Amino acid sequence: MSLSLDNPTGAAALPARDRAGKPFADAPPQHYIEAWRAQWWNPEPPGLSRALEGLPIFLGSDDAVRGWAEALCNLCGSIEAHINDNCRGRVPRWMKLPKVLFGVERVTVVRCEAKDSRSFTNVADFVASVRTTVEVADQERLSDWLRAHPEGKLVSHAPFVDLAAHVYSRHDDKPRRVRFYEGGLVLAAAPGLERVAVDDHRGIVRKLRSNRYVNPLLELGKMRVYGVEQQMTFRGR
């Protein structure tokens, strides 16, 4: 199985990199990715089955996934220059490419509370980072804390609900935690196994971490801002 993405849109072919007037990496990879998705991902990957309704997790035999993954490898080869030159050699999240794992015996899907965490050493940077208006009195409270704790920092937490898959593979001693909702996840059953076992634990509420930050200095809607120094959280009110 192979996939040609040299000219997926039918437009004029891109010049060879050594003859191009500008680096090939400047050419946006979106048209390659969109062409690949149209043939190999939407509405479902050919030859694979969906693990749970509404979730982008797909299962297949080892042979089926390897055949499908060849097209994904071809796609990555087509945009390799962009990844190496513009993305430090790592596939960026915005490309939303699926993750592929082999030798899988079982997968458990969990729903968990997550947070977008950012750190600041001055109030001005924090205020510039949020869309909500920060009252002058609140800014002064944060400034007072930083002056009292010169080695400290402000940490903002914006909570959100996340989904993750715990993947149990034959060759791993421990399960691998994979975030899949943005790009999707493709799992190949371990050789000799007819089908990957799927456990849906999205309805189970996980306990809050015992070492979570408490006593925020400031609350802005769902966002909370903490004062943190030497792994300790200081009371803000």
Q: What is the DSSP string of 58-118?
A: EEE-HHHHHHHHHHHHHHHHHTHHHHHHHSTTS--GGG-PPEEEEEEEEEEEEEEEEEEEE
What gap in Å lies between CA 99 and CA 186, rounded to an integer?
6
What's residue 92's pLDDT? 81
Residue 218 contacts residue 198 (beta carbons within 8 Å): no
pLDDT at 160: 79
Residue 138 to residues 134, 141, 158, 175, 196: CA-CA distances in angstroms? 6, 5, 18, 43, 52
CB–CB of 231/168 below 8 Å?
no
pTM > 0.75: no
Give Cβ neighbours of residue 79 (< 8 Å, ≥ 6 apart): 29, 32, 33, 95
At residue 194, the pLDDT reads: 87
In this structure, the number of other CB atoms found within 10 A of the CB of residue 196 comes to: 22
What's residue 16's pLDDT? 35
Each residue's pLDDT expressed in tens, for the chain with a length of 237 residues = 333 333 333 333 333 333 333 333 444 688 899 999 999 999 999 999 999 999 999 999 999 999 999 999 999 988 988 888 888 788 888 899 999 999 999 999 998 777 788 999 999 999 999 988 999 999 999 999 999 999 999 999 988 778 899 999 998 999 999 989 889 999 999 999 988 999 999 988 776 666 678 889 999 988 999 999 865 444 444
